[in-house]
Homo-oligomer: A and B are copies of this chain.
């Protein structure tokens, strides 16, 4: 009468959930005062992929609903880290631009996060990490595709 073991994919997702939680906590503590991880993610996204993007586009890229992104952008604007401007080509759109302060803050955040995460002896060699990345990317793509696919599934 023992419990049947979880399917392997369950065990994997459980492990991933725990790691995510631990890493999130750790990263959040490392951030400059008042900066949430979700705020940093947006700054980082804009620095790396380019700013002048619409709110909805950023929301999709960062896997967050639009209302949450509205909130995040408002906080970033209030702190002067980002500047919103109406899209000249789309009357509904709002484009988000980085300010100098925003770029500087992102650089500081990256630095503090690196010094918070890097020294953790994670026990994984660089090649091991590389080896992990490929299958995990496949898993992400699969989940991502399934997301659009199944609003209502079943034949």
Contacts and interface: CB of A to CB of B under 8 A. Distances in A.
Interface of A: 3, 7-13, 15-27, 47-48, 63, 114, 117-124, 126, 128-130, 132-133, 135-144, 146-147, 153
Contacts of A22: 63, 140, 143-144, 147
Copies in the complex: 2
A136 B16 contact: yes
A20 B27 CA distance: 16
B15 A126 contact: no
A139 B18 CA distance: 10
27 contacts: A7-B114, A9-B117, A9-B122, A9-B129, A10-B117, A12-B133, A13-B19, A13-B20, A13-B117, A15-B136, A15-B140, A17-B20, A17-B23, A18-B140, A22-B63, A22-B143, A22-B144, A26-B143, A26-B147, A121-B142, A121-B146, A122-B142, A123-B138, A123-B141, A124-B135, A124-B138, A132-B136
